Amino acid sequence: MSQQPRTEILIDPKFYCDGHYYVLTSASLGGSNLSPQQLSDVLGRADEPEIETLLKQGICIPLCFDGDCALDQETLFVLGNLTAEEEHDWIGRLTWKLNIPCGKLVLLCGGGDANELAEAISGNPPQPNYQIFQTIDIPPGEYLIEIYAYLSSMTVQQSLEEYDEHWNLVEHEELRNWYQANRPGTPGISYIIRLASLESEPPFPQLVSEIGWCGMFNFRQPEL
């Protein structure tokens, strides 16, 4: 990675997402001519070809997780490079791009409600007792977006459990112990959302079947 000045911003402790879905976008919706209603309609239909068009144009990255509040409390936004420890310790990664010509990155809980999307990109601050979006000022441009999942994240913790053909819960304790010994992560950080100037287009992300949103992380796992 080329050396870039690093800026880091923790997610607001009052940010709250009572659901499985988030949208990463910009206040200008990627410089598109889409209205909040049009974008929320596309997101709500979850039609893969339509979602692919949004992604290819850098309008937004719709994200889904297997539980509520995945990004709440312990997410760090990084503009620039990871530290050596952060690079060493990540376990899962999801990569794509965003066009942010307005210089305002927006993280929104949900995405299927046009009124909430309109409020998130309005420039107004979130309601003090209902903070379902966060806006971060960055230099305008086209960005590589990398979402890193660490050991404490919902993404990694759920990967360490699965059900067998008889619906018995199987826990991968050997792998969990290896991660704890070798990639423990930084206390208080479950996810890092890294932004860097886009130099080349990354591989297109795999979409979650029947949902059409992003949520498939690529994992680094040892051979045990």
CATH topology for the 7-201 domain: Substrate Binding Domain Of DNAk; Chain A, domain 1 (2.60.34)
Q: What is the dihedral of CA 85, 138, 44, 158, to 10 degrees?
A: 10
H or E segment and range at residue 158: helix 154-159
User: What pLDDT score was predicted for residue 36?
Assistant: 97
Residues 205-211, mean pLDDT to the nearest whole number: 93
Q: From CA 176, how far away is CA 76, in angstroms rounded?
A: 23
pLDDT on residue 170: 78
Confidence (pLDDT) at 3: 58
Q: How many whole angstroms separate alpha carbon 78 and alpha carbon 76?
A: 6
- Under a CB-based contact definition with an 8 Å cutoff, are residues 192 and 153 in contact? no
Q: How far apart are CA 211 and CA 70, in angstroms?
A: 17
pLDDT in tens, 33-80: 999 999 999 999 999 999 999 999 999 999 999 999 999 999 999 999
Q: Which amino acid is at 38?
A: Q
Percent of the chain with pLDDT over 70: 98
Alpha-carbon 147 to chain mean position: 5
pLDDT at 163 over 80: no
CA 148: distance to chain centroid? 8
pLDDT band at 156 (very low <50, low <70, confident <90, very high): very high
What are the sequence ranges of the domains in the chain?
7-201
Residues 157-171: what's their mean pLDDT? 83
How much is the mean pLDDT over the chain? 94
Give which of 180, 173, 183, 169 is closest to 220, Cα–Cα: 183
